[in-house]
């Protein structure tokens, strides 16, 4: 395996609304959500409550992290490239974020993170939620004072844009374009909130997030002209 791949930690996160029911929000949060909802409404009949269930998880101020999956490439026993993933999933966000911080702090110097749309979502979301809970940022997330070329963050969406910053392409579409097995089953990002609060199925969320990390890793390899990881060389923990 090329050395440049060994220092990358691939990751994906899943987020939900902070509370199950809009009525559970403190009044100050309802006021701020009403302002946010005013910009989000597409249909006149949509209420603040409707939009809260649909969109709150996207925003770090109104949502929380329930799952983080990371993946690392390594040389397998058979000499072929292999991928190991590890899932962190919990209804206790503080515990989850502390576990993830510990993983980040154990990374070798020079390590980088890679996510799809990570620079606009995953990295800032994790950072904001850590700060909200009084958790100090690990070095790999702390960008204060760093020059752009010193930021250890890779983003497959950014790589695909080639400078076209008005362009958005989903991970699933790129997986399709590059003939990578899809990360989607009977689950997609729009259902995470429902699966968490209604079905209370953390394993389902974890499995979905893990499939995304596998697809992300395969996509990065294809973008770099490297062969895909064989299914039998993917280890999920």
pLDDT of residue 82: 94
Question: What is the pTM for the complete model shown?
Answer: 0.93
Which positions ≥6 away from 237 have C-beta within 8 Å? 84, 85, 86, 87
What is the C-alpha separation between 96 and 129, in angstroms, rounded? 11
What is the C-alpha separation between 159 and 147, in angstroms, rounded? 19
CA-nearest of 148, 142, 60, 62 to 101 is 142
For residue 141, the surrounding DSSP H or E stretch is: none
In the CATH scheme, what is the homologous superfamily, with its name and number, of domain 3-18+62-236? Ribonuclease H-like superfamily/Ribonuclease H (3.30.420.10)
Between 167 and 83, the more confident residue is: 83
Which positions ≥6 away from 54 have C-beta within 8 Å? 190
For the chain, which residues make up each domain, given as ranges? 3-18+62-236
pLDDT of 18 above 60:
yes
SS (H, E, C) 58-109: HCCCCEEEEEEEEEEEEECCCCCEEEEEEEEECCCHHHHHHHHHHHHHCCCC
For 148-192, how does the pLDDT look when each residue is reduced to its tens digit (9 = 90+)? 888 999 999 999 999 887 778 999 999 999 999 765 667 777 889
């Amino acid at each position: 395996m090329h050395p440049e791949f060994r220092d990358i930690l691939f990751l994906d996160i899943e987020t939900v609304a902070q509370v199950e029911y809009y009525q559970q929000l403190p009044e100050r949060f309802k006021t701020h959500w009403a302002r946010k909802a005013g910009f989000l409404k597409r249909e006149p009949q949509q209420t603040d409550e409707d939009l809260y269930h649909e969109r709150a998880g996207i925003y770090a101020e109104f949502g929380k992290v329930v799952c983080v999956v990371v993946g690392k490439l390594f040389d397998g026993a058979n000499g072929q490239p292999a991928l190991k993933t590890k899932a962190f999933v919990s209804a206790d966000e503080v515990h989850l974020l502390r576990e993830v911080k510990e993983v980040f702090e154990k990374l070798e110097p020079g390590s980088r993170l890679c996510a799809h749309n990570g620079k606009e979502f995953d990295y800032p979301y994790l950072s904001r939620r850590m700060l909200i809970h009084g958790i100090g940022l690990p070095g790999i997330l702390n960008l204060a004072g760093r020059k752009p070329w010193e930021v250890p963050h890779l983003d497959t969406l950014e790589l695909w844009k080639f400078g076209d910053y008005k362009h958005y392409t989903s991970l699933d579409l790129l997986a399709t374009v590059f003939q990578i097995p899809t990360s989607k089953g009977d689950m997609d990002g729009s259902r995470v909130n429902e699966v968490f609060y209604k079905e209370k199925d953390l394993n389902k969320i974890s499995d979905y997030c893990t499939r995304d990390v596998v697809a992300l890793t395969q996509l990065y390899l294809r973008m770099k002209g490297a062969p895909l990881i064989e299914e039998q060389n993917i280890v999920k923990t």
